[in-house]
Amino acid sequence: MLPDEATSSLGLNRAASSIVLPVHGNVYPIGSYNVTLNIGQPPKPYFLDPDTGSDLTWLQCDAPCVRCTEAPHPLYRPNNDLVVCKDPLCEALHAPGSHKCDNPEQCDYEVEYADGGSSLGVLVRDAFLLNFTNGNQRTTHLALGCGYDQLPGSSYHPIDGVLGLGKGKPSIVSQLSNQGLVRHVIGLAELIVGGKSTGFRNLVMVFDSGSSYTYLNSQAYQFLTSWLKRELTGKPLKEALDDKTLPLCWKGRKPFRNIRDVKTYFKPLALRFASGRKDTTQFELPPEAYLIISSKGNVCLGILNGGEVGLQNSNIIGDISMQDKMVIYDNEKQMIGWGPGNCDQLPKSRSFSFW
């Protein structure tokens, strides 16, 4: 499992160095991860939720703030470097045909998330102090949201803001890439259970580090839960209806301490990605990548029904399924790769399966 402190890296200047951001948190019980970025002049630390499923990086902002949620640090005080309405970054934040500004001298934004949370604010530019693995530091100016009106979502936790790592122009990844620097990736996959195909193919999969859990569409989820219940028939587990940690939990004869106590009862899952040629690549999901142990000592399924949170036909590979994997995003080739990773150590060069 990911420890309470792991690492995340962004490659810079191709062969030069990497930015490594310590990641704090866990899937359960905290239900979130955060990275620390130093922003502003002088630079101040902020805890941001890294999200490969969205583009905009924003901080709760004293502009002044209309509605701000509980945060670990004082509100961000913006400088006067506003992004203007006609800036391409501003246009990229809005749906086609909806790019209109009440004030041409500023770029207003509003972002909404699947859990119902949202942020409303203006786009500004400010200094980001970045630390590299070769010991160098660099200050670069990037656009970010100054959020003065926030609504917490159902999965809310105290945070200063969001680190958008998506593939759109406004994302920090794209901005760094345009400056001479690293995307969320969507692919089509087939669901494999116990080494056998389920018949669920062409599942639209999103790699989203902003989601603690993995989500399948309603049909695939119902198939998976029915299959699991059949597989557990005759095993010393029974459904724990009184445990509301997650929708589906099981109890044993005595409380479980960790996944090792129960993993022999569960078979591995996988997502098989086609490369467009005859070969395929599998994203393996051992029991550790889809189960948690609740505070009651029960084992719970960390794959949830996406239909119940409005995802419709989209499916999400969340933090729980990325544990113990090094996930590599290749912006230039529009590819994603993964391999086993000891996430409490700095990344090293190794072979990865690319899709």
d(CA 45, CA 221): 40
Can you name the residues that pair with 120 across neighbouring β-strands?
110, 149
Beta pairing class for 314-317 and 203-207: parallel
Q: Which of 49, 51, 55, 319 is catalytic?
A: 51
Tokens matching residue 87: 């800036």
Token pair of 131 as six digits: 């630390």
Contact 52, 165 (CB under 8 A): yes
Catalytic residue among 49, 55, 208, 319: 208
Q: Is 208 a catalytic residue?
A: yes
Catalytic residue numbers?
51, 208
